[in-house]
Each structure stands twice: as structure tokens, then as C-alpha cells.
């Protein structure tokens, strides 16, 4: 019982650390995640609440260890290799979801720049952070990764 409490304590501590790191590195993440499109200059602006997207991003990062621990508990995953594969699958699914969203935004911006007839000027697009939906894609990738891990590695019981 004490070991279980220690695991929960360290998981919550790691979640808090990820939340703080998410707040610190939020700008760097979006600098890397927002696609660069030739012929279009755009600024990412946030109209309503300047901290809403960063808090949501940090909150989803903080959910990662909790969801993985929940997956381990529900699927009765005890082998270290399977636990590491669960983490790897969840991170890969999250990264894939962000990449797919990045490709979607890039194709939208390329279509937008092609529709502009005046090639002498550069197009400036103000794109709200709320409509990038990287956070929701990360959460969806996390859920898919945990579900996939659950069905792949759960303990088979007769």
C-alpha cells in the first residue's frame, strides 16, 4: 500500500513538473508546431484570453503521466518493457496528432496564398491560437495511445 501511495505521489509530482515546463516552453512549442509557408507571413494572435491556450497545453502535458498510470492499472501491465512501450506509444500518438494538424494548417495556408492574385505583396494572415487546436490534437493522441496500449498489453484473463 505504501508503494502504491509513493507511485501516485511521484506521478503527481511529475505531472506538476510537466505543467510548469509546459508553461515555460509554450512559446517554443508553438514556434516549432506552427508551419512555415512560403509566400505567407502570418502572426499567431490570441483574441480572448492570452493564457487559455498555454494553460490548456500545460494541463494536457500534466495529464500524460496520470493517463499512463491509469492505463497501467486498468490493463494490469506489470512488465517493464510493456510499460516503456506504453509510454512510447502514447508519445508517438501525441506527436503524430500534432503533425497531422500541422499538415492540415499548412495545406490551408498554401491554398490561401494560391488564391491571392497579387504576387508582388506578401500575404499576412492573422491566425488565432484558439483555432490551431494543437492542444485538442495532443489530447486525442494521448487518448488513442492509451487505448491502443490498453488493448495491446492488457493482461489476458480467462
The residue among 28 and 89 whose pLDDT is bigger is: 89
Domain residue spans of the chain: 2-153
Structure confidence at residue 134 (pLDDT): 86
Return phi, psi of residue 85, to 5°. Answer: -65, -35
pLDDT at 117 over 60: no
Question: Considering the chain, what is the average pLDDT of its residues?
Answer: 84
Taking the C-alpha atoms of residue 137 and residue 135, their distance in angstroms, rounded to an integer, is 5
CB-neighbour burial class of residue 149 (10 A; exposed 0-12, middle 13-18, buried 19+): buried
Structure confidence at residue 118 (pLDDT): 53
Taking the C-alpha atoms of residue 40 and residue 150, their distance in angstroms, rounded to an integer, is 43
The residue among 28 and 142 whose pLDDT is bigger is: 142
Taking the C-alpha atoms of residue 113 and residue 36, their distance in angstroms, rounded to an integer, is 12
Structure confidence at residue 35 (pLDDT): 79
Amino acid at each position: 500500500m505504501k508503494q502504491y501511495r509513493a507511485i501516485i505521489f511521484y506521478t503527481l509530482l511529475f505531472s506538476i513538473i510537466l505543467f510548469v515546463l509546459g508553461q515555460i516552453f509554450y512559446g517554443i512549442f508553438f514556434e516549432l508546431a506552427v508551419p512555415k509557408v512560403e509566400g505567407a507571413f502570418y502572426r499567431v494572435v490570441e483574441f480572448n484570453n492570452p493564457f487559455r491556450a498555454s494553460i490548456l497545453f500545460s494541463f494536457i502535458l500534466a495529464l500524460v503521466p496520470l493517463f499512463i498510470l491509469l492505463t497501467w492499472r486498468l490493463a494490469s501491465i506489470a512488465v517493464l518493457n510493456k510499460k516503456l512501450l506504453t509510454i512510447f506509444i502514447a508519445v508517438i500518438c501525441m506527436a503524430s496528432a500534432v503533425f497531422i494538424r500541422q499538415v492540415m494548417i499548412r495545406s490551408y495556408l498554401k491554398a490561401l496564398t494560391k488564391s491571392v492574385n497579387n504576387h508582388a505583396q506578401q500575404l499576412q494572415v492573422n491566425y488565432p491560437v484558439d483555432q490551431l487546436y494543437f492542444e485538442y490534437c495532443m489530447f486525442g493522441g494521448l487518448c488513442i495511445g492509451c487505448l491502443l496500449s490498453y488493448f495491446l498489453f492488457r493482461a489476458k484473463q480467462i
